[in-house]
Amino acid sequence: MYVLIYALINSFILSLISLGFALVYSIARIPNFAHGAIYVATGYVGWLLINRLSLPFPLAIIVALIFSALIGALIYRIVLIKVRGMALSEIIASYAIGIAILEILRWGGLRGMTFMLPVLIPGSVEILGVSIDYQRLLILGVSGGLLLFLYLFTHHTKTGLSFRAIAQDERASLMLGIDSDRAALLSLSIGSAICGLAALFVLPLGNIVVEAGYSTLIFALAVCVVGGLGSTAGVVAASFILGFAQTLTEKLISSHFQMVVALLAIIGTLILKPSGLFGKQKELEERV
């Protein structure tokens, strides 16, 4: 029972951190390898806002979210837009930016274990005989809310619908007057904001360390590969599979094996169904 609930929460955590990356890739076709960096950077900014500027946590959340959206937009505007379309350069550029941000943060002071974000609602509650802290429940709520918001956004707003159009077929969307550059900019901002959101709610469960940037990236990538790049349903499904697998391994074997699980999941997916669970492996033809 304990396992079930924690696995559930773990899955939602995974989906939170992966949705940002998946969104950016399906719309802008850019793998945002700076994802992990944005995660940690937002958390750090949140910490700074709370501890240096003494802002109340809810306000800090909002400001930090704006900050992460801004970073995403800046990354796009300054760097990625210049290399749009050149797959190799896009990959290298986002990778380099991500590492640069993380290492600058590390050098700039994010060392040691002393950085922590406060939980929004302290304390815990007993559900079905298992003690769960409010923060984790909050994560459940936030991710559920996010998924709902994304669904409504992409199905009922003009911008959201244009996102789906671009994700399906960029050329056709361009012909219909949808500006894919603006969409890419927006998607990078929203994707980064989601990433920041994840950071602000998940980081309170532990410390803010630069290493989290790398592991977050790994997990997000694992989830996206297993679920299929370009499919939101896949990301959710894969989060659950990986979430449960990880929690089970943690319980049955040891927490150290979590990484092994991620590795095996990726290799397994690539061998068995390379396009991922729900991935639309676009027919080879379309790559021309």
Partner 1 sequence: MGEIILEVQNLSKHFGGLTALNNVTFAVKKGEIFGIIGPNGSGKTTLINCISGFVRPDEGRIYFKGRDITGLPPHKIANYGLARTFQIVRPYYSLPAYKNLIIPLFSPRARKMGGWRGGGKYGDRDAVAVDILEELGFERDSRVPYKLASSLPAGYQKRLELARCLALRPELIMCDEIFAGLSMSEVATLVPLIEKLKMEGLTLIMIEHRLKELFKLADRVMVLHFGEKIMEGEPYEVIEDERVKKAYIGEEVF
Partner 2 sequence: MELLRKERVDRGIKVRTEGIYAISGWQEMLYLLMPRLLLIVGLLALPLILGPFPYWKRVINMMCAYAILSLSFDFLANYVGLANLGSALFTGIGGYLSAIFSLKLGLPVFLAIPLATLMGAVLSTLLILPTLPLRGVYFAIVTLMLPLLFCRIIEALNILGGTNGISGVPGFEKAFVEEYTVILVLLGFLFSLRRLVNEDFGLVLRGIKDNDQAVRASGINVTWMKAIAVFVAALLGSFVGSYMVHLYMWAGLSLFALDFSVIPIASVVIGGGGTLVGGVIGSFILVPLSEALRAFGTLRIAIYCIILTVFIVFKSEGIMIYLQRKYHQFERWVKV
128 touching partner 1, by CB under 8 A = no
**Shortest reach from residue 225's CB to partner 2, in Å:** 6
**Shortest reach from residue 198's CB to partner 2, in Å:** 19
283 binds, among partner 2, partner 1, none (CB under 5 to 8 A by kind): partner 1
- Closer by beta carbon to partner 1, 113 or else 288: 288
- Binding-residue total with partner 1 (CB under 8 A): 4
**Shortest reach from residue 284's CB to partner 1, in Å:** 5
- Closer by beta carbon to partner 1, 271 or else 284: 284
CA dihedral 230, 233, 235, 238 (to 10 degrees): -130
31 binds, among partner 2, partner 1, none (CB under 5 to 8 A by kind): partner 2
Distance CA 239, CA 215 (A): 15
- Closer by beta carbon to partner 1, 135 or else 173: 173
3-state secondary structure 97-149: HHHHHHHHHHHCCCCCCCCCCCCCCCCEEEECCEEEEHHHHHHHHHHHHHHHH
288 touching partner 1, by CB under 8 A = yes
- Closer by beta carbon to partner 2, 57 or else 214: 214
CA nearest neighbour of 191 among 73, 50, 43: 73
**Shortest reach from residue 285's CB to partner 1, in Å:** 5
Subset of residues 210 to 249 that bind partner 1, contact rule: CB under 8 A: none
Bridge partners of 132, per DSSP, are: 125
The string over 154-180, giving b where at least 16 C-beta atoms fall within 10 Å of a residue's C-beta and e elsewhere, is beeeeebebbebbbeebeebeeeebeb
Chain centre distance of CA 41 = 13
CB 5 within 8 A of CB 128: yes
- Closer by beta carbon to partner 2, 127 or else 260: 260
- Closer by beta carbon to partner 2, 158 or else 287: 287
Residues interacting with partner 2, by CB under 8 A? 25, 31, 33, 78-79, 82-83, 87-89, 91-93, 95-97, 99-104, 106-107, 214-215, 217-218, 221-222, 224-225, 229, 256-260, 262-263, 266-267, 270-271, 274-275, 281, 284-285, 287-288
- Tell me the backbone φ, ψ of residue 131, rounded to 5 degrees: -90, 120
Subset of residues 265 to 284 that bind partner 1, contact rule: CB under 8 A: 283-284
- Closer by beta carbon to partner 2, 135 or else 230: 230
**Shortest reach from residue 275's CB to partner 1, in Å:** 13
- Residues forming contacts to partner 1 in the complex (CB under 8 A) are 283-285, 288
